[in-house]
Amino acid sequence: MADQVATAAAAAGVFAATNVDDIVVLTVLFVAARTAGRPRPWQIVVGQYAGIGALVTASVAAAAGLLVIPEPWTGLLGLVPLALGVRALLNRDDAGPPEPVSGTLGVAAVTVANGADNIAVYAPVFRTVGPADAGTYLLVFVVLVGLWCAVAAGLGGHSRVIRLVTRAGHWLVPALFVAIGLAILVGSGVLGRLAGLG
Range from 12-16, 33-37, 60-64, 191-195 carrying the lowest mean pLDDT: 191-195
Single pTM value for the model: 0.74
For residues 51 and 59, the answer to whether their CB atoms sit within 8 Å is: no
Render pLDDT for 153-185 as a digit per residue (tens, 0 to 9).
998 888 887 777 667 666 776 777 788 778 777
| 144 pLDDT above the threshold of 90 | yes
Q: What percent of the chain has pLDDT over 90?
A: 18
CA nearest 47: which of 80, 96, 94?
80
Q: What is the pLDDT of residue 165?
A: 67
Q: pLDDT per residue over 124-141, tens digit each?
A: 888 888 888 888 999 999
Cβ atoms of residues 97 and 36 within 8 Å: yes
For residues 180, 90, 162, 146, the Cα torsion angle rounded to the nearest 10 degrees is -40
Give the other-Cβ count within 10 Å of 24's Cβ: 14
* Cα–Cα distances in angstroms (integers) from residue 71 to residues 15, 75, 175, in the given order: 21, 8, 26
What's the rounded Cα separation, in Å, for the pair 83 and 101?
A: 11
pLDDT tens digits, one per residue of 54-84:
999 988 888 877 666 666 566 677 777 778 7
pLDDT in tens, 86-104: 877 777 655 455 556 778 8
Lowest mean pLDDT among 34-38, 96-100, 106-110, 147-151: 96-100
